[in-house]
Structure 1
Amino acid sequence: MARSTGTRYGTARLRTVALIGVDGSGKTTQAHRLAEALAAAGHPATYHRNAGGRRWLGRAAHRLGRPDAQGLLGRDAMLLVESVLRWLAIAMALLGCLFTGRVAVMDRYAACQYASLRAHGGQRWERLIRAAYRVFPQPQVTFLLTVPPAEAYRRIERRGTDQESLPYLTAADLAYRTLPESPSFVPIDGDRPADQVAREIRAHLAEWVSVDDEPDEPGPQRYRPWLPGPVTALVPIHALPWTTGPVAIQARP
């Protein structure tokens, strides 16, 4: 498929796209959709959920009678463990895509760890963590999904798979907006139906992903492989069939 080379993203082949934002902003839903859209447009992609283990640690804490991961390990230890686990996840994702040539669609990236440090009051570790994460290349595009903290809190409570406090979500939202990297983020209003959010993300990647803005023709629905089906609610990550590791999404013939 021929592509124009005169775009703001330059002539390089698309390799890495990151979706970041507070919990409940819709990162996972949109990352899956984007990987599918890229594959349908002829760019095989792999979804990677670069989690820091806080959900797993939180469940372990509950089993041991502690309120959360911070209560189990202490704030500093929790942040360091989270930083190491996320570093390993990102490293494995990048290496896998380097060898396979697939596009890496990153559900969370380095900026998520910097924001977590700031939101949890762990700024003293930020310089060290940044030094460790500096080995990772910057994604060609980083989408920052934004939602009001109160809406993010409602979504998290509704899905019922994890817990976050409203003060933490408010602090994390501010942290993302004030990171030194924030001017390079592409802000996406995540407080809209998932179809609209997905369409805007694809529009920013129009060099690689076809975007169909024409109204549906009357009669039978046309087949549009780049346009995922409608989503009526956020799908909890644990309910998806691809949660045990990276998801390789093949391009359709």
Structure 2
Amino acid sequence: MALRAKHTGVRTVALIGIDGSGKTTQAHRLADELTEAGIPAGYRRNAGGRHWVGRVAALFGCDDAEALVGRRGMLAIESVLRWLAILRTMLRRTVSHEISVMDRYAFCQYASLRARGARPAAERRARLAYRLFPAPDVTFLLAVDPAVAQQRIDRRGYDHESMDYLNAADRAYRSLPEFPTFVVIDANGTPDQVAAEIQADLAARRAALAAPVPAPRRRPVVRALMLAAGPLLAAFAVLGFQLAESL
């Protein structure tokens, strides 16, 4: 393990990328390896629920989630569910000394909206709601050839994505205004190779990683929610409007 067993100045690490890029595998692995190195870390999944809605759709005889609720409806549901997942992650962070290793983040929602042809207004509303959440300290974009990604998706056997969508998603991530802030990782290799590249980048940040960080104040979750009541209500209003408009 390339990282030293010290508390770090990095509190949040996000792994993002198209479906089949290996986000979940690498996020689990990074959280485990940080913990083994003496740096408490927790895996946090910020999924949008598309797979779950797809399973519900299958019960009703539909081919996929969009066949059940429509493209715009699924994008709205995805925006709300991912927002709630990130909120849960951030609330956990307020009462924990762990590094949050996040499998997906708000950027994934913006890319999904672009890749699936949502109107610009939908992304503007999503950004307004998601601005409540701070940017991760480090965001790794796992860049993979869409053809390789499709092979991985087909191997796991429980879903499928078209090449058209995977190519659109790849372009969407690279078109985001936040793209220059991402650390781009070549995710075409083996899991060991990808993990080594992530570790190498974190090792290069040793000066920042070794910097002492004041322990976060332990605030009861209820108090944290009260302090966030205004922004939360505003975000729910935006997301609710998007959902109502889409259904």
1:146 aligns with 2:129: no
Identical counterparts, % of pairs:
60
The answer for the alignment partner of 2:62 in structure 1 is 66
Which amino acid is 1:54 matched to?
R
Q: Is the 8 A contact 1:145 1:188 kept in 2?
A: yes
Worse overlay, 93-102 or 168-177: 93-102
Q: Is the 8 A contact 1:46 1:97 kept in 2?
A: no
Long gaps (5+) in structure 1: 5-11, 210-253
Residue 124 of structure 2 corresponds to residue 127 of structure 1: yes
Give the Å deviation of 1:161: 2.0
Residue 202 of structure 1 is matched in structure 2 by 199
Q: Is it true that 1:101 corresponds to 2:63 in the alignment?
A: no
**Partner of 1:156 in structure 2?**
153
User: Partner residue of 1:169?
Assistant: 166
Distance 1:84 1:54 in 2: 11
Aligned mates of 1:97, 1:162 — CA distance in 2: 32
Q: Within 5 A, what are the aligned runs for 1:27-106?
A: 27-106=23-102
For 1:98 and 1:18, the matched residues in 2 are separated by 17
Q: How big is the shift at 1:94?
A: 1.3
Write the distance in 1 (CA, Å) between the matches of 2:157 and 2:5: 44
TM-score normalised by structure 1 residue count: 0.76
Give the Cα separation in 2 of the matches to 1:26 and 1:19.
9
SS where residue 142 of structure 1 aligns? Answer: strand
Equivalent pairs, count:
202
- Deviation sequence 1:134-186 (CA, Å, 0-9, x none): 01110011000011111101100011122211111110010001100000000
Task: Give CA-to-partner distance per residue, 1:98-129, whole Å, 9 cap, x none.
Answer: 20121100000000000000011113300000
Q: Within 5 A, what are the aligned runs for 1:206-245?
A: 206=203, 207=206, 208=209
Q: Mark the runs of 5 or more structure 2 residues left unpaired by the alignment.
A: 211-247
Alpha-carbon contact 1:20-1:107 (below 8 Å) kept: yes
Aligned counterpart, 2:188: 191
Q: Provide the rounded CA distance (Å) in 2 between the counterparts of 1:105 and 1:3.
A: 16
Output the CA distance in 2 between the equivalents of 1:2 and 1:143.
21
Name the SS for the 1:144 alignment partner: strand
Shift in Å, 1:40: 2.0
When the two chains are superposed, the root-mean-square deviation of aligned CA atoms in Å is: 1.7
Residue in structure 2 matched with residue 22 of structure 1 by the alignment: 18
- Cα distance, 1:42 vs structure 2: 2.0
2:5 and 2:38 in contact (8 A); partners too: no
Structure with more of its chain in helix, by fraction:
2
Does the CA-based 8 Å contact 2:5-2:39 persist in structure 1?
A: no
User: Secondary structure, in 3 states, of the residue corresponding to 1:132?
Assistant: helix
Query: Where has structure 1 moved over 2 Å in runs of 4 or more?
Result: 1-4
| Equivalent residue number for residue 233 of structure 1 | none
Equivalent position SS for 1:205: helix
- The question of whether the paired residues in 1 share the 8 Å contact of 2:43 and 2:101 is answered with yes
Partner of residue 137 from structure 1, selected from 130, 134, 139: 134
SS of the aligned residue for 2:95 comes to helix
